[in-house]
């Protein structure tokens, strides 16, 4: 099983069409009934999430009827789909609006993410910015590229390694529990500058393009990470779980760090994560 170039183009078109039809018209135009809490006031879902995922899923099922399709918003109806990613012959993982809190608040820091896995390996990833119209596309073994809305394309490259005091990065400690939460938040004072986008799409975009030195997360749902990890790796970076093992489709625990190289990863793990 392989994914062809024309399939990648099709996937990019699916994501862009969902952004154009379902997401952008609702940005800064949501009513009270269009937003619902999931697990907390900062974990929300909107009509844009639901309708965009439905549109992308329908298009994927029509072209790839035998494929496993894992959508963030459909996950609650069938949680067996995530562990099934470890062995699926072909699977697609969708985050229709990553950064939904930002989207619902009217902040233009959100994106649509789509990953392709074959037999437990991520082989392609797309991160699309509906507002700017720009897209990051990563293909296993072929690199990661940023394509602007006007068609201009550039290859992505991670930042050069730096000393801890000169690093710019972010760890999503807000989703952690104490004592990890307090320890990591305090340790972030060791770096040059800290960012918190509350949006994996933007975080992976920034770290894969060398604007950030590192990012880290404790929560590993596949729609938040598969496409971004591949983009970061194809841009020359080193990503691994907190214990040093590779991150694979179907895994949801263990924490993750993305850094320019293995030495930088070890430094972040020791000095920021504190393990």
Q: Which helix (H) or strand (E) holds 217?
A: strand 214-217
Of the candidates 215, 255, 8, 209, the residue with the CA atom closest to the CA atom of residue 125: 8
Ligand-binding site membership of 72 (annotated): yes
Rounded CA Rg of the chain: 18
Ligand-binding site membership of 95 (annotated): yes
Q: Are 98 and 199 a contacting pair, CB within 8 Å?
A: yes
Q: How far apart are CA 17 and CA 64, in angstroms?
A: 18
Q: How far apart are CA 109 and CA 131, in angstroms?
A: 9
Q: How far apart are CA 74 and CA 108, in angstroms?
A: 24
DSSP secondary structure letter of residue 247: P
Q: How far apart are CA 272 and CA 27, in angstroms?
A: 35
Ligand-binding site membership of 224 (annotated): yes
Instruction: List, as residue ranges, the binding site for Mg(2+).
Output: 72, 95, 98, 224
- Known binding-site residue numbers: 72, 95, 98, 224
């Amino acid at each position: 099983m392989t994914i062809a170039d024309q399939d990648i183009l099709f996937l990019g078109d699916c994501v862009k069409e969902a952004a154009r039809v379902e997401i952008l018209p609702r940005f800064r135009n949501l009513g009270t009934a269009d937003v619902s809490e999931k697990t907390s006031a900062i974990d929300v879902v909107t009509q844009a999430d639901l309708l965009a995922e439905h549109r992308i899923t329908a298009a994927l099922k029509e072209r790839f009827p035998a494929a496993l399709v894992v959508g963030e918003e459909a996950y609650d109806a069938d949680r067996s789909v995530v562990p099934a990613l470890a062995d699926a012959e072909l699977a697609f993982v969708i985050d229709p609006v990553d950064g939904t809190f930002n989207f619902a608040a009217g902040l233009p820091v959100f994106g649509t993410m789509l990953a392709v896995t074959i037999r437990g390996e991520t082989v392609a990833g797309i991160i699309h910015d509906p507002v700017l119209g720009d897209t990051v596309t990563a293909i296993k073994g072929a690199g990661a590229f940023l394509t602007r809305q006007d068609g201009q394309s550039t290859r992505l490259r991670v930042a050069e390694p730096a000393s801890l005091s000169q690093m710019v990065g972010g760890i999503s400690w807000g989703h952690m529990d104490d004592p990890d939460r307090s320890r990591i938040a305090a340790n972030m004072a060791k770096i040059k500058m800290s960012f918190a986008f509350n949006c994996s799409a933007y975080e992976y975009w920034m770290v894969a393009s060398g604007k950030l030195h590192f990012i880290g997360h404790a929560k590993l749902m596949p729609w938040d990470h598969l496409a971004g990890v591949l983009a970061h790796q194809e841009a020359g970076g080193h990503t691994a779980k907190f214990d040093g093992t590779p991150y694979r489709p179907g895994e949801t625990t263990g924490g993750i760090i993305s850094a320019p190289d293995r030495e930088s990863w070890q430094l972040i793990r020791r000095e920021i994560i504190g393990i």
